[in-house]
């Protein structure tokens, strides 16, 4: 019996290894792992839709979306061959190709396309007094999970508001799912989330806690741009997407799809082509896919386009 169990375990491990990172070389069969984010975030929903389209439209391809902590973890998975496609914010991607911030060396990744913009959400629990980011001082605040792009933005936003993210708040590091539950349970005062509109987890919270608030964060934008450049932009959020009233201004940052720089050129081309040609199907999965546009898609600086993606955009003119 022990021998049977050992053989079974070995076969499971082998199958798992074969299913991860197998697409980068563009062999006779591609098993593509798409690194996304938390299950109630946009990356995961969008990634699931993309996996379905890649499987259906690229011959001999089986793509799956995996749950991760998002941007930083996704890039590390790509760099180590444990994922083939990864969602990332451009600020995190810039750190990756520069070997700065959360990365101690330049990461071997290239871009497929810019896809849509993320919006910084600073969600405040009912009854908590806070009108701007600086008012979070002394409060229990989640900055997002470790190895997430949310945490990168949260820390930079707090610093721009004059707060030390390690000492001026009671810091938590929760996923979007955990943050929403913590507000429901009354164990945190606020949380940061950086994602598309709408984000399912925030919809869920606003439905159960309609007296929650989202802070206007425009006052942090100038400081973030002064230190990190124009990768951060000002965006308006119509709160009706969360069935709340009013409009706020917040910090925005673009999202890109990344792949290992060793990915086969034809495979990268096919992924890019499928992404844009199946825009209608992807929009049915999440409305942020409606923003897919080849003219915008090629704007991935400071990350370099993968040669396969560059060929697709060149053909589009």
The reported pTM is 0.88
Query: Could you tell me the domains of the chain?
Result: 18-116+255-316 (3.40.190.10), 119-253 (3.40.190.10)
Where does residue 191 fall: left (phi above 0), alpha (psi -120 to 50 degrees), or beta otherwise?
A: beta
Tokens describing residue 15: 């199958």
The confidence score (pLDDT) of residue 9 equals 38
The confidence score (pLDDT) of residue 230 equals 87
The Cα–Cα gap between 25 and 40 comes to: 31
The confidence score (pLDDT) of residue 25 equals 46
- Please tell me the total number of residues recorded for the chain in this structure: 317
The confidence score (pLDDT) of residue 28 equals 54
Rounded mean pLDDT for each run of 10 residues along the chain, 317 residues in total: 38 37 56 97 97 98 97 98 98 97 97 97 98 97 96 97 98 97 98 96 97 95 93 96 96 98 98 98 98 97 97 94
Q: How far apart are the first and last CA of the chain?
A: 62
């Amino acid at each position: 019996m022990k021998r049977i169990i050992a053989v079974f375990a070995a076969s499971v491990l082998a199958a798992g290894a074969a299913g991860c990172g197998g697409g980068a070389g563009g062999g006779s069969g591609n098993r593509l792992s798409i690194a996304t984010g938390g299950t109630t975030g946009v990356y995961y929903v969008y990634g699931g839709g993309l996996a379905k389209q890649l499987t259906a439209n690229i011959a001999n391809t089986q793509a799956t979306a995996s749950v991760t902590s998002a941007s930083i973890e996704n890039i590390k998975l790509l760099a180590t061959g444990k994922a083939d496609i990864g969602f990332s914010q451009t600020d995190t991607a810039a750190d990756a190709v520069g070997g700065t911030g959360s990365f101690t060396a330049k990461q071997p990744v290239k871009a497929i396309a810019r896809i849509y913009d993320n919006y910084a959400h600073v969600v405040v629990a009912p009854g908590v007094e806070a009108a701007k980011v600086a008012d979070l001082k002394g409060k229990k605040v989640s900055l997002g999970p470790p190895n997430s792009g949310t945490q990168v933005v949260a820390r930079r936003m707090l610093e721009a508001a004059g707060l030390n993210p390690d000492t001026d708040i009671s810091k938590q590091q929760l996923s979007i799912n955990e943050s929403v539950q913590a507000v429901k349970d009354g164990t945190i005062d606020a949380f940061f989330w950086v994602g598309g509109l709408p984000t399912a987890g925030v919809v869920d919270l606003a439905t159960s806690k309609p007296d929650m608030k989202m802070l206007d964060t425009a006052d942090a934008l100038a400081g973030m741009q002064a230190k990190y450049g124009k990768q951060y932009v000002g965006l308006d959020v119509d709160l009706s997407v969360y069935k709340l009233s009013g409009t706020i201004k917040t910090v925005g940052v673009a999202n890109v799809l990344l792949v290992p720089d060793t990915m086969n050129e034809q495979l990268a081309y096919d992924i890019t082509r499928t992404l844009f040609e199946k825009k209608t199907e992807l929009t049915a999965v999440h409305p942020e896919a409606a923003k897919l546009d080849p003219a915008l898609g090629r704007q991935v600086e400071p990350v370099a386009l993968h040669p396969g993606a560059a060929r697709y955009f060149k053909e589009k003119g």
